[in-house]
Chain A
Amino acid sequence: MRFGVVVFPGSNCDADCYHVVDQVMGHPVTYLWHGDKDLKNVDCIILPGGFSYGDYLRTGAIARFSPIMDKVVEFGEKGGFILGICNGFQILTETGLLPGALIRNPSLRFICKDSYLRVEQNETPFTGKYQSKQVIKVPIAHGEGSYVADKETLEKMEKAGQIVFRYSTSQGEITQEANPNGSARNIAGIINEKGNILGMMPHPERCAEAILGGEDGKLLFESLINWWQGGKA
């Protein structure tokens, strides 16, 4: 499975995503420059974390106008796999590929720590290797990670099973204390209706190697590769 990691000016988790696909998963990966329009025949596009365009104006607001984004949107609408992590998730909501928006954490502070997530939906190409309701430990690192959407959208996503990850306690309880950033309904990650575009604030690439403190994120990449190779979600 060929991966492409988009590099916007100010992306800073691009090399991390590249490293995980290349060194940990052993799959081909290439960088996609924001100013290009060539997707280099990749099978999955990763929009990495970071501060594209310095987060100026609004997170992700400028990046969506990068030349490559037209191609990314087209790719996604045709069913291509897109994984947006952190700033990548913010960009996906700005393009409209995913509903809702990410606003500032209520604490008004940047938060970097491990968070527990409950896998709400394991019947997606990105989560097939997780157990339903499995609790995983994945780090967050953001200042604007509070997910918001109107009630109708939230209800619709709930019904369609589009809510993939929720912040939880280590025991899997969905509580206010377990919600680090005030996200609506503890939402940490969502998927589009078609099931090919996933956006999440936590960083699975930061927990794909035991030496970094955990491997829960590796399963996400494994799930995707497994799906691609004809396995089941």
Chain B
Amino acid sequence: MSRELWKEMGLTQEEYTKIQEILEREPNEVELGMFATMWSEHCSYKTSKPVLRTFPTEGPRILQGPGENAGIVDIGDGQAAVFKIESHNHPSAIEPYQGAATGVGGIIRDIFTMGARPVAVLDSLRFGPLKSKKSRFLLDGVVAGIAGYGNCIGIPTIGGDIYFHPSYEDNCLVNVLCIGLIDQKDIAKGTAAGPGNPVMVVGARTGRDGIHGCTFASEELSEDSEERRPAVQVGDPFMEKLLLEACLELIKTGYVVGMQDMGAAGLTSSSCEMASRAGTGIEMDVAKVPRRETGMNPYEIMISESQERMLVVPKQGKEEEVKKIFAKWGLEAVVVGQVTDDGFMTIKEGEKVVARVPAKALTDMCPAYTSEAVEPEYIGPAQSYDLSTLPEMEDYSQTLLSLLGTCTIASKEWIFRQYDHMVGLNTIVQPGSDAAVLRIKGTNKALAATVDCNARYVYLNPYAGGKIAVAEAARNLVCSGALPLGLSDCLNFGNPGKPEIFWQFKEAARGMSEACLELETPVTGGNVSFHNETKGEAIYPTPVVGMVGLIKDLSHVTTMNFKKEGDIIILLGENKDELGGSTYISVIHGLEAGNAPEIDLKLEKLVQRSTLELIKEGFVTAAHDCAEGGLAVALAECCIAGNIGADVNLTDGIRGSSLLFGESQSRVIITVPKEKIDAALQRLKKLEVPYKVLGNVGGKALQIVGTGWKLRLDTAELEEKYREAIPCIMNS
């Protein structure tokens, strides 16, 4: 075997030697291709595994943790929510429309592979600032791609988060979360059990697209990446809609032993993972795989990443029934092989064996790497940057307007208006709120979901930032009236071979784990995306948290808009004099410095529990989390959403900038009707949660009065600034 070939495929000397040891011979080209794709970082998690193992993954609500196509949480009444988040960063950076579209398609398949009907999609997006033409091009293409796929397949895109920062200029992030609903009795797994059972390829035909997509995802972007465009797959949402309906119909028959979508590493990964999970082998003939191109060789067929395909293992003798269902939907279903008991992946072309590799060698035997972790040099100076001497802005009103007009904070309506967020008739809280809320038809329950990560905090202090990402996601769910159940994470980092990057990764994961434990939100799976670097510059470390919660009674659904004149505004939690990592110092002072906000998980939990208690007891008319832009922006958002003003007094002995725009954690704004205020305050005292009565809802302006200063703006003015920032840039 030439050194060039295995190197070209992205394998290391150590890995190549290990393959020789496993096989006790030289691998041929097909085998090498299978190892290279399965042992890529994207598929093997070889660098991240030791860290991922530290996440808490168990809890009373967890029906399926990491290791399957998606995680599953129990939502009562024999029902479950299936969800997972995945990245499609590099493809989107090269070809934004198809990159994002196939990102949506891929994660949707992960959900219906488990037998669940996908009911919602959320996206977490990161781009460079929109003043650059490239960022506008990427945003435009990514949003159109998500819309193009999601709208067509008919799964509502109900929410998400988006940040703009220079570190994502050439390496945008596109993370997609999909949620499905299932009756627990229908849960399907990705296992190829039962030797003798047939192995079937169903759905679209196989072509040469997306060859080496996962190895491409496991390297840094460079100027040459443009040439990788053919590694980006092309999506066909119509085909996937047919595949979705056919697969769900098939699962209802009870004929399915196991099923898995062909995502990264296509036929190779789906087959060996299914065999490995079941402890079986698979023998298949690539000549039987339906192709849409002529002259494809076994190597190409095995690693093609053509979209909208699934591998199905039905019970022996049910092949014709399977074919009938797929034919009804105009799709092919072809028997390509069978399950064996020898533990080997035996790949044939006709009668000729073209590859023979132990299934477990591909899935489990990739060498694990424990990278060195070293604190980056920027951390010390950044954290100790003295923010106490920053000059105070004279005009807080103008500052608030500037923040509301910052793309990261401003209304995302320009984006979500392009998404069909209503199809399915379940969306009861529109995008733009703390969390998206879906009713569950036929019950009095609802699901809430959110995606969150403030990467600036993670950059300044990965440990605290990791905790905050989890805490904020949970807080958003609680503000919607939901009990957080579990999370799926998408860990976007730079090159883990660099000790500084690996340190960020480890520290962020350590913070996340602690928060998961304290807030009782185990990790049910997710995805690691390394090598998010261009020309050696890494993105801000961005561990995105996708979290799902349960609203037990529809009457608990809570939104952020201020509702009624006279409602009393209460702040749960504590204001602190901290500006580190805030949007305020970034936008106004041009600083990315200071330490991340402090986070006390005990206080966080208390604030969340108290918020939820009050909601359940019927005290709360609106609830909103304080996040980017601090208390002032949170209050403005409540006013804008409710089209009503508020009168607020802030009397803490803290400088105005920190009080208004600081991003202290564990704070929630709620409103309580006047007639219930005494009882509500008594409840809060009993819960022993710190709180402050801030003022009341009413009028047509937001007025905040502090010691020696006053901020006053008409809600109409707030709204104009907030709503027009992004359209103004994108439509010009």
Contacts of A53 in B (CB 8 A): 238
Closest chain A residue, CB of each to CB of B414: A109
Known A-B contacts A12-B154, A19-B441, A212-B428; A111 and B422 likewise in contact (beta carbons under 8 Å) = no
Known A-B contacts A12-B241, A51-B151, A53-B238; A139 and B554 likewise in contact (beta carbons under 8 Å) = no
> Does B20 touch A at the CB level, under 8 Å?
no
Which A residues have a C-beta under 8 Å from some C-beta of B?
9-10, 12-13, 15-16, 19-20, 23, 49-51, 53-56, 109-113, 139, 141, 143, 203, 205-206, 209, 211-213
Instruction: Give Cα A20–Cα B427 distance, bound, in whole angstroms.
Output: 15
In the complex the two chains form, is A10's CB within 8 Å of B425's CB? no
In the complex the two chains form, is A112's CB within 8 Å of B422's CB? yes
In the complex the two chains form, is B419's CB within 8 Å of A13's CB? no
> Does B424 touch A at the CB level, under 8 Å?
yes
Contacts of A112 in B (CB 8 A): 151, 416-422
Closest chain B residue, CB of each to CB of A208: B425
Known A-B contacts A10-B152, A54-B236; A211 and B439 likewise in contact (beta carbons under 8 Å) = yes
Closest chain B residue, CB of each to CB of A111: B417
7 cross-chain pairs, A with B, having the tightest CB-CB distances, nearest first: A12-B154, A54-B238, A51-B152, A141-B420, A16-B425, A112-B420, A110-B418
Query: Can you give 30 contacting A-B residue pairs, CB < 8 Å?
Result: A9-B238, A9-B241, A9-B242, A10-B152, A10-B242, A12-B152, A12-B423, A16-B425, A20-B425, A23-B441, A49-B423, A51-B152, A51-B237, A51-B241, A54-B152, A54-B238, A54-B239, A109-B144, A109-B418, A110-B147, A110-B148, A112-B417, A112-B421, A113-B417, A141-B151, A141-B420, A141-B422, A203-B422, A212-B427, A213-B428
Contacts of A211 in B (CB 8 A): 428, 439, 554
Return the CB mask of B426-439 against A: 1 if under 8 Å, else 0.
01101000000001
In the complex the two chains form, is A141's CB within 8 Å of B418's CB? no
In the complex the two chains form, is B151's CB within 8 Å of A110's CB? yes
Closest-CB distance, A8 to chain B (whole angstroms): 11
Closest-CB distance, A218 to chain B (whole angstroms): 12
> Does B329 touch A at the CB level, under 8 Å?
yes
Which residues of B in the span 398-416 have a Cβ within 8 Å of any Cβ on A? 416
Instruction: Give Cα A23–Cα B241 distance, bound, in whole angstroms.
Output: 25
Return the CB mask of B306-347 against A: 1 if under 8 Å, else 0.
000000000000000000000001100000000000000000
Contacts of B424 in A (CB 8 A): 15-16
In the complex the two chains form, is A9's CB within 8 Å of B422's CB? no
In the complex the two chains form, is A12's CB within 8 Å of B422's CB? no
In the complex the two chains form, is B151's CB within 8 Å of A206's CB? no
Instruction: Give Cα A23–Cα B441 distance, bound, in whole angstroms.
Output: 10
Closest chain B residue, CB of each to CB of A16: B425
Closest chain A residue, CB of each to CB of B237: A54
Contacts of A111 in B (CB 8 A): 417-418
Instruction: Give Cα A212–Cα B428 distance, bound, in whole angstroms.
Output: 5
In the complex the two chains form, is B418's CB within 8 Å of A12's CB? no
Instruction: Give Cα A10–Cα B239 distance, bound, in whole angstroms.
Output: 8
Instruction: Give Cα A19–Cα B441 distance, bound, in whole angstroms.
Output: 10
Closest chain B residue, CB of each to CB of A139: B422
Known A-B contacts A10-B241, A54-B236, A110-B418; A141 and B152 likewise in contact (beta carbons under 8 Å) = no
Contacts of B418 in A (CB 8 A): 109-112
Closest-CB distance, A189 to chain B (whole angstroms): 18
